[in-house]
Chains A and B, each alone.
Chain A
Amino acid sequence: MDYVIRVENLKKSFGSRIVLDGISLNVKRRESYVVIGGSGSGKSVLVKCILGLVKPKSGTVEINGQNMMHLPQRAIFQTLLKCGVLFQGGALFDSLNVIENISFGLIYGYGKSIKEAYRIAMEKLELVDLGVEIAKAYPAELSGGMKKRVALARAIATDPDVIFFDEPTTGLDPVTSGTINELIVKCTKEIGISALSITHDIKSLKRISDRIGFLYKGKIIWEGTNSELTTTDNPYIRQFVDGTPNGPFSH
């Protein structure tokens, strides 16, 4: 099987607090895998561990067949060149304007000329439904939703093979959310990018996911497709999807 991301028995704790307690998951090529789970359950930490930004305690992570744990620095950067990452908080460089932010990876990672990089960046800006008039604005001058979309444009600017999206639609209005969902679907279905996303947004989840993993108490306790999500009688999933106050979460 051709896996783009392979995670095996990943463990991570901060001090005495265990956050990831043996996570295993695989993302196939051209698949859109979505991780769901309660706030603070460790979804963002999971993505950071996979990318090597946070050092896990134990376990294996492979991206595109490269074992991220045992690679030299240079090879890690080579692998990351093929990844696009959207951070939950956007993580835009606030000393750079929008266009410089989006073209950053093209210029510094791929060594493209500034003119070429700006041209591509403008295209991506349009893809996320933002006008060229904000190209020269700085992140501090943007609204939360605009920041998120600029960060999304930056994540896909280099045409990566794998994308990691941490809550791509949080903080967006329903219409923009819809646009972003379509963009993600386009990336995975038409262009064939593999995706590992995180979301709280059930509507977005149903639109963008091929497979879903449910993270609870440091483990993936349920895995299944979209239709299985609607039919499953797993009480955790039911409560999470329906958002009812009473259920196993409440204990």
Chain B
Amino acid sequence: MCFKNRRMFLVRIGGLFLAFLSAIGNVTMFSVNSIVSGIMPPYYLKQIVQQAIQIGYFSLPVVGMTALFAGMAMTLQCFSGFSELTAENAIPSVVMVAMTRELGPVLTALMVAGRLGASMTAEIGTMRVTEQIDALTTLSVNSYKYLVFPRILTGTILLPFLVFIDDVIGILGGYIVGVYYLNFNAANYIHNTFASMKMWDVGSGLIKGAVFGFWICLMGCYHGYFSKGGAEGVGRSTTNSVVSSSIMILLLDCVLTFVLF
């Protein structure tokens, strides 16, 4: 009895492991297909520009807002801790480092995953279940090239820009709280922010941004592309897309931090 249970357990684990491997294989094939078909001419510039506007421009309000509040909260938190050690002068540079290395890329990526990853999956998934992707094929258009590649390309290129804007606004939020609420001297605050700043703080965050952008758009497209089962199926894919993006963002963040520092 015990033996049998243990065997069943191993079978389950094995099954899960195999499913995991095949998912990795599928995602890899999917991204290779998209990139290979995308880099061959002709180029669908209109598609790329449309996606660039979606990703770059329409994400700004959400990204900016979260950055502002995160920067403000961060400064307040630091103050309550640092003032006990009379280390208030370290606050500007701590906020700067935290924003550029961690909060900027991760917050931006999470917001974009919720906003864009979800809408990509819903849009492509709907196209799948209403046979629009089949229609693309019968009109001799490669759906990887037309739908997937423009999204992945613009996501990878534009997310670092969003991260940079996020950094700037986050630090600004810290400045506002620091100077107007906690009564820091403005010139001192600015000086302390940039005194210990290294290019690599910002640069590493931008690299993270590019990796996250690629992953969010890949997941958004992948889950949409293989949607099935009508509106309910598209809903399920959308959830999967956001969840798998978000988890991987945090996991990748951890891995990248190890690699980059």
| Interchain CB contact (< 8 A) of A85 among B123, B130, B132, B135 | B135
**Interface membership of A249, Cβ < 8 A:** no
The smallest beta-carbon distance between A191 and chain B, in angstroms, is 19
- Residue numbers in B under 8 Å from A85 (CB-CB): 135, 138
| Residues in A neighbouring B137, C-beta threshold 8 A | 51-53, 80
> Number of contacts between A and B (CB, 8 Å)?
56
A105→B132 contact, CB < 8 A: no
- Expressed in whole angstroms, the Cα–Cα distance for A87 and B141 within the complex equals 16
| B134–A48 touching, CB < 8 Å | yes
Within 8 Å by CB of B135, from A52, A73, A87, lies A87
B131 at the interface (CB under 8 A from A): yes
Which residues on A sit within 8 Å (CB–CB) of B142? 73, 77
> What's the Cα separation between A53 and B130 when bound, in Å?
13
Selected from B123, B126, B127, B141, the residue in CB contact (under 8 A) with A109 is B141
Residue interface bits B113-131, CB-to-A below 8 A is 1, else 0: 0000000000100110011
A41 to chain B, nearest CB (A): 19
The complex places the Cα of A94 from the Cα of B127 at a distance, in Å, of: 9
For residue B45, CB closer than 8 A to chain A, the reply is: no
Task: Tell me which of B44, B123, B137 has the highest count of chain A C-beta atoms within 10 A of its own C-beta.
Answer: B137
Let me know if A80 and B135 touch, CB within 8 A: no
Q: Does B187 contact A (CB under 8 A)?
A: no
Q: By the criterion CB–CB under 8 Å, are A93 and B140 in contact?
A: no
Tell me if B138 and A80 are in contact (CB < 8 A): yes
Contacts of A77 in B (CB 8 A): 140, 142
Docked complex Cα distance between A154 and B146 (Å): 18
Q: In the complex, which residues of chain A have a beta carbon less than 8 angstroms from the beta carbon of B138?
A: 51, 53, 80, 83-85
List chain A residues, Cβ under 8 A from B42: 111
> Given the complex, which residues of B lie within 8 Å of A104, measured CB to CB?
139, 141
Alpha-carbon separation in the docked complex, A92 to B131 (Å): 9
A109 and B140 form a contact (CB under 8 A): yes
Instruction: For residue B141, give the distance in angstroms from its CB to the closest CB of chain A.
Output: 5
Contact with A along B214-253 (1 / 0, CB 8 A): 0000000000000000000000000000000000000000
Taking a contact as CB atoms closer than 8 A, the residue among B44, B123, B140 that contacts A80 in the complex is B140
Q: Interface 1/0s, chain A 69-112, versus B by CB < 8 A?
A: 00001000110110111010101111100000000110011010
Residue in chain A with minimal CB distance to B135:
A91
Say yes or no: A91 contacts B141, CB within 8 Å: no
Chain A stretch 52-75: residues in CB contact (< 8 A) with chain B:
52-53, 73
Closest B-chain residue to A78, C-beta based?
Answer: B140
Q: Which B residues, 50 to 102, have Cβ-Cβ distances below 8 Å to chain A?
A: none
Kindly state the separation between the CA atoms of A108 and B135 in the bound complex, as whole angstroms: 13
Q: Nearest CB to that of A108 among chain B residues?
A: B141
Contacts of B44 in A (CB 8 A): 108
Q: In the bound complex, do residue A91 and residue B140 qualify as a contact, i.e. CB atoms below 8 Å apart? A: no
Contacts of A84 in B (CB 8 A): 138
Question: What is the CB-to-nearest-CB distance from A196 to chain B, in angstroms, rounded to a whole number?
Answer: 13
- Min CB distance B98 to A, Å, is 40
> Which residues of chain A are within 8 angstroms of B132 by Cβ–Cβ distance?
91-94
Interface string of B165-185 (1 = CB under 8 A from A): 000000000000000000000
Q: Is the CB of A87 within 8 A of B140?
A: no
A87 CA to B134 CA, complexed, in Å? 9
Note all chain A residues with C-beta closer than 8 A to B139: 80, 104-105, 108-109, 154, 158
Nearest CB in chain A: distance from B97 CB, A: 42
Residues of chain B contacted by A95 (CB below 8 angstroms): 123
With contacts A105-B140, A109-B141 taken as known, whether A93 is within 8 angstroms of B134 at the C-beta atoms is: no
Q: Which residues of B contact A108 (CB under 8 A)?
A: 44, 139-141, 146
- Bound Cα distance from A109 to B42, whole angstroms: 11
Give the distance in Å from the alpha carbon of A144 to the alpha carbon of B137 in the complex: 23
What is the minimal beta-carbon distance from A219 to any residue of chain B, in angstroms?
25
By a CB distance below 8 angstroms, the chain A residues around B131 are 87, 89, 91
- Known: A84-B138, A105-B140; 16 extra A-B contacts, CB below 8 A, are A51-B134, A51-B138, A52-B137, A73-B142, A77-B140, A77-B142, A80-B137, A80-B139, A83-B138, A85-B135, A91-B131, A91-B134, A93-B127, A108-B139, A108-B141, A111-B42
8 residue pairs A–B, Cβ–Cβ below 8 Å = A73-B142, A77-B140, A78-B140, A93-B136, A95-B123, A104-B139, A105-B140, A109-B140
Where the two chains meet, the residues of A that have a C-beta atom closer than 8 Å to any C-beta of B are 48, 51-53, 73, 77-78, 80-81, 83-85, 87, 89, 91-95, 104-105, 108-109, 111, 154, 158
Q: Which residues of B contact A (CB under 8 A)?
A: 42, 44, 123, 126-127, 130-132, 134-142, 146
Closest 8 CB pairs of A and B: A109-B140, A91-B131, A91-B135, A105-B139, A85-B138, A77-B140, A81-B140, A53-B134
